């Protein structure tokens, strides 16, 4: 989720929550027994958010614990004026006292079994994953060579499986796909993406296959001209599993449907696509093996709060870092980091000082910011996939002011929302981050707007935030429909850009 705020509330709804093991082969998972999920009707004119953040900082300094006490699952928006807040059992009474202080002492319990929903969806994920592994093993026994076709995009995968899919695809479809290394995580994992294009040239094609394509990081002023690009990243927040799953789905769908579907074909002829399905692999793997609700990166904290790990990678970008909607407390789920680009996944190294740094080479400096800035020289569309809420959020995040191209961005978002509606019947709302929710600074969305990318959206994917939704535990059976929605949205935005920019 993009924003994490608690605001004055009128109505409180409570369910009991328990977190269950997703990966049966993993270590002991974090125990969320006794946690309660509260829904509040929101007064959007309040300043309670600032008070809550101050109280949260006091808690961090006195409790000396990394255990999650408060966690915002869904933020209020103009279309859905309420917030969903997860509260630890040991903090529940203090939390109620906080509401009482804000003259919100009237609580109403309604029926709802989030524990049952979480257990059901976790069991479904396990069952579908076992079936996927069984079917994959059977296929591999029948033929010697593995194929990217075998990769099941209707399942949640480990990061290693994601990388293997991208490797196979780049090796077996070298005319369309390059595998690119864009960064290195805190724990040393290489972060990969793919470039999907109809203009790939391979001077050493006869030496195929090879692990991944070498890309040069071009310094300012000498970058070669490129086609306009569409950039998609996902997985910034670890627990939002649907986001990387949709990124992988889109990669495969573009390759499969080129030459068969008019919109996919037209947009691939007009644009190069860069898709990075998992920006935060450390956090993602931790959410699979240790804590299903983990959100941040896994960087080590060197401050006095050494027991608190990681930062919110979507508060760590340098443009307007540390302003509205960021938290300086290391234990906070929206901790902005110790300084801009403190997280190695997006760290802003001066790559251009090394005139053709090659990410593949040992000790080469490769970071997401530099990849976006110097490798992709003509970005036209940038999408960052998150969950949940079904929203298309454009800049700015740090301020209520509108961008110079606000109306054009909203027109494209309107066309994207209509395309989604026509594809699956699902409704997505659209507007700026600050219009739809509340200010947030240090985001990739604002960084890209500052850089001058015309069409920029942070997308909150399925589900909606109604009381019967699955929240972050969306079953894999929803991946296909959610992926189809995003393909429809991206095709609509691309078509809009071609028309308006006369590409």
Give the SS3 label for residue 426.
coil
d(CA 454, CA 395): 10
> Can you tell me the mean pLDDT for 253-260?
97
Per-residue model confidence (pLDDT) at position 261: 95
The region of weakest confidence among 181-195, 209-223, 300-314 is 209-223
**Residue 170 predicted with pLDDT over 90:** yes
242-257 vs 159-172: helix crossing angle, rounded to 10: 10
- How confident is the model at residue 130, as a pLDDT? 62
pLDDT at 302 over 70: yes
Residue 162 to residues 193, 244, 251, 369: CA-CA distances in angstroms? Answer: 10, 9, 11, 22
Confidence band for 206, pLDDT divided at 50, 70 and 90 = very low
pLDDT value at position 137? 53
Q: What is the pLDDT of residue 218?
A: 42
The end-to-end CA distance of the chain, in Å, is 33
Segment 196-215 shows an average pLDDT of 55
223/282: higher pLDDT = 282
Instruction: State the pLDDT at residue 407.
Output: 98
Higher-confidence position of 121 and 149: 149
Is the pLDDT at 427 greater than 70, yes or no?
yes
> Given the DSSP bridges, would you call strands 391-394 and 357-358 parallel, antiparallel or unpaired?
unpaired
The string of pLDDT tens digits covering residues 346-385 is 873 333 333 333 444 443 445 666 677 667 878 999 999 9
Q: Can you name the CATH fold of 9-119?
A: Alpha-Beta Plaits (3.30.70)
Does residue 213 surpass a pLDDT of 70?
A: no
Rounded to an integer, what distance in angstroms lies between the CA atom of residue 135 and that of residue 131?
6
Q: How far apart are CA 53 and CA 443, in angstroms?
A: 19
Q: Which residue has the higher pLDDT, 494 or 89?
A: 494
Q: Judge whether 181 and 359 are in contact, CB under 8 Å.
A: yes
Mean pLDDT across 260-275: 96
What is the rounded average pLDDT of the residues 319-342? 87
Provide mean pLDDT across the span 72-88.
74
Candidate ranges 263-277, 296-310, 337-351; pick with highest mean pLDDT: 263-277
Q: What 3-state class would DSSP assign to 392?
A: strand
| CATH 3.30.70 location in the chain | 9-119
Q: Give the pair of three-digit tokens for residue 177.
A: 């796909």
**Across residues 149-163, what is the average pLDDT?**
95
Q: Residue range 492-497: average pLDDT?
A: 98
**Residue 187: is its pLDDT beyond 80?**
yes
Average pLDDT over residues 107-129: 51
Residue 429 confidence (pLDDT) above 80: yes
Q: pLDDT band at residue 126, thresholds of 50, 70 and 90?
A: low
Kindly state the tokens that stand for 198.
Answer: 């109809």
pLDDT at 118 over 70: no
Q: Could you tell me which residues are beta bridge partners of residue 38?
A: 14, 85
The residue with greater pLDDT, 463 or 96, is 463
Antiparallel, parallel or unpaired: β 272-276 and 35-42: unpaired
Residue 96 has pLDDT above 50, yes or no: yes
pLDDT at 92: 80
Higher confidence at residue 177 or residue 58?
A: 177
Tokens for 126, please give them.
């396990």
Q: Residue 305: what pLDDT?
A: 61
85 - beta bridge partners? Answer: 38, 72
- The CATH 3.40.630.10 domain(s) of the chain lie at 127-501
pLDDT confidence of residue 421: 98
Give kind and range of the element (H or E) at residue 116: helix 114-142
What percentage of the chain exceeds 90 in pLDDT? 46
Give the best-scoring range by mean pLDDT among 432-441, 469-478, 486-495. Answer: 486-495
pLDDT digits 0-9 by tens, 437-478: 778 899 999 999 999 999 999 999 998 756 556 788 888 999
Distance between CA atoms of residues 163 and 427, nearest Å: 32
Predicted local distance difference test score (pLDDT) of residue 111: 28
Radius of gyration of the chain (CA): 22
Q: So what's the pLDDT on residue 192?
A: 94
Contact 297, 345 (CB under 8 A): yes
Q: How far is CA 337 from CA 240, 311, 342, 442, in A?
A: 20, 5, 6, 10
Q: What is the pTM of this model?
A: 0.84
Q: Once rounded to an integer, what is the mean pLDDT over residues 239-260?
A: 98
Catalytic residues: 460
Q: Which position has the higher pLDDT, 81 or 66? A: 81
Please, what's the b/e burial string for 4-43 (b: 16 or more CB within 10 A of its CB; e: otherwise)?
bbbbbbeebbbbbbebbbbbeeeeebeebeebbbbbbebe
Is residue 270 predicted with pLDDT exceeding 50? Answer: yes
Per-residue pLDDT of 3-39, as tens digits, reads 554 333 334 455 444 443 333 334 566 777 777 777 7
Q: How far apart are CA 465 and CA 81, in angstroms?
A: 11
CATH architecture of 127-501: 3-Layer(aba) Sandwich (3.40)
Residue 366's pLDDT is what? Answer: 52
Q: Quick one: how far is CA 456 from the chain centroid? A: 14
């Amino acid at each position: 989720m993009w924003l994490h705020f608690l605001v004055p509330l009128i109505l409180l709804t409570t369910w009991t929550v328990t977190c269950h093991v997703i990966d049966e082969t993993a270590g002991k998972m974090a125990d969320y027994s006794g946690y309660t999920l509260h829904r509040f009707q929101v007064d959007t004119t309040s300043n309670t958010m600032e008070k809550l953040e101050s109280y949260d900082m006091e808690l961090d300094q006195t409790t000396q614990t990394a255990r999650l006490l408060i966690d915002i699952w869904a933020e209020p928006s103009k279309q859905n004026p309420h917030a969903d807040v997860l509260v630890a059992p040991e903090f529940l009474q203090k939390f109620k006292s906080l509401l009482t202080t804000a003259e919100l002492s009237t609580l109403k319990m309604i029926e709802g079994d989030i524990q049952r929903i979480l257990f059901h969806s976790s069991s479904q994920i396990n069952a579908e994953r076992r079936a996927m592994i069984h079917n994959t093993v059977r296929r591999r026994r029948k033929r010697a060579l593995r194929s990217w076709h075998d990769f099941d995009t209707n399942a949640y995968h480990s990061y290693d499986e994601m990388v293997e899919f991208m490797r196979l695809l780049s090796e077996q479809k070298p005319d369309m796909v390059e595998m690119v290394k864009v960064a290195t995580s805190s724990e040393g994992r290489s972060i990969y993406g793919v470039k999907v294009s109809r203009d790939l040239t391979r001077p050493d094609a006869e030496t195929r296959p090879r692990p991944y394509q070498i890309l040069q990081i071009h310094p300012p002023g000498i970058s070669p001209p490129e086609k306009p690009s569409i950039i998609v990243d996902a997985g910034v927040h670890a627990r939002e599993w649907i986001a990387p799953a949709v990124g992988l789905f889109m990669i495969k769908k573009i390759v499969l449907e080129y030459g068969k579907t008019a919109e996919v074909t037209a947009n691939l002829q007009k644009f190069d696509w860069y898709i990075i399905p998992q920006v935060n692999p450390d956090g993602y793997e931790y959410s699979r093996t240790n804590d299903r609700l983990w959100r941040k990166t896994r960087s080590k904290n060197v401050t006095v709060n050494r027991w608190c790990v990681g930062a919110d990678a979507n508060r760590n970008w340098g443009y307007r870092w540390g302003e509205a909607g960021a938290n300086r407390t290391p234990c906070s789920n929206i901790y902005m980091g110790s300084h801009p680009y403190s997280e190695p996944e997006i760290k802003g190294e001066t790559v251009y000082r090394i005139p053709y740094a090659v990410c593949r080479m040992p000790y080469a400096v490769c970071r997401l910011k530099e990849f976006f800035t110097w490798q992709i020289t003509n970005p036209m569309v940038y999408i960052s996939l998150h969950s949940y809420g079904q929203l298309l959020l454009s800049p700015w995040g740090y301020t209520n002011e509108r961008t110079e191209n606000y109306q054009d961005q909203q027109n494209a978002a309107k066309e994207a929302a209509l395309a989604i509606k026509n594809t699956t019947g699902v409704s997505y709302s659209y507007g700026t981050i600050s219009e739809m929710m509340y200010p947030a600074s240090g985001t990739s969305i604002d960084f890209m707007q500052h850089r001058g990318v015309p069409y920029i959206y942070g997308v909150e994917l399925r589900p909606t935030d109604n009381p019967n939704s699955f929240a972050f535990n969306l079953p894999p059976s929803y991946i296909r429909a959610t992926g189809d929605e995003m393909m429809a949205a991206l095709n609509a935005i691309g078509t809009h850009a071609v028309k308006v920019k006369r590409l």
